[in-house]
């Protein structure tokens, strides 16, 4: 999905909310070493990110947060309760879904960093 994202905080409260969202989204989207190997556990972090987005949805952040829900919704709905083992084909599908989410999160982070004035931190995140 191609999103043209930008963000301009209108006041200090918006800037603070944007910073909090940037910090939440800067954490990894991909499963970490505690992953149990199930699709449901793989999308657990995405569900946690969406909960944080829900808490921070306000003002100028609303379009960015809504884009997160639209982009991640299919992956979460498809995999959230799937505790079955992954075969090669299902693993490839899960990986593709997670890649779409990770790419969109990167676009949101870039928009937040540009609007918030912390592009150097966002650049350092890619190192």
Q: Give the model confidence (pLDDT) of 90-112 as tens digits.
A: 999 999 999 999 999 999 999 99
Q: What is the pLDDT of residues 21-39, one digit of tens each?
A: 999 998 878 888 889 999 9
Say how far apart CA 102 and CA 95 lie, in whole Å: 10
CA atoms within 13 A on the CB side of 8: 1
Residue 83 has phi, psi (to 5 degrees) of -100, 10
Q: What is the value of pTM for the model shown? A: 0.90
Question: Could you tell me the residue ranges of all domains in the chain?
Answer: 12-125
From the list 54, 45, 33, the residue with the least C-alpha distance to 101 is 45
């Amino acid at each position: 999905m191609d999103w043209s994202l930008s963000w301009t905080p209108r006041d200090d409260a918006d800037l603070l909310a944007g910073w909090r969202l940037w910090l939440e989204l800067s954490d990894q989207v991909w499963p970490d070493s505690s992953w149990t190997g199930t699709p449901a556990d793989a999308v657990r972090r995405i569900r946690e990110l969406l909960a944080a987005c829900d808490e921070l949805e306000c003002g100028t952040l609303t379009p960015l947060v809504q884009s997160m829900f639209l982009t991640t919704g299919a992956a979460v709905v498809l995999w959230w309760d799937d505790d079955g083992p992954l075969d090669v084909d299902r693993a490839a599908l899960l990986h593709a879904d997670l890649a779409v989410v990770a790419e969109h999160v990167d676009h949101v982070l870039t928009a937040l960093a540009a609007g918030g004035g912390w592009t150097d931190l966002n650049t350092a995140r890619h190192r």
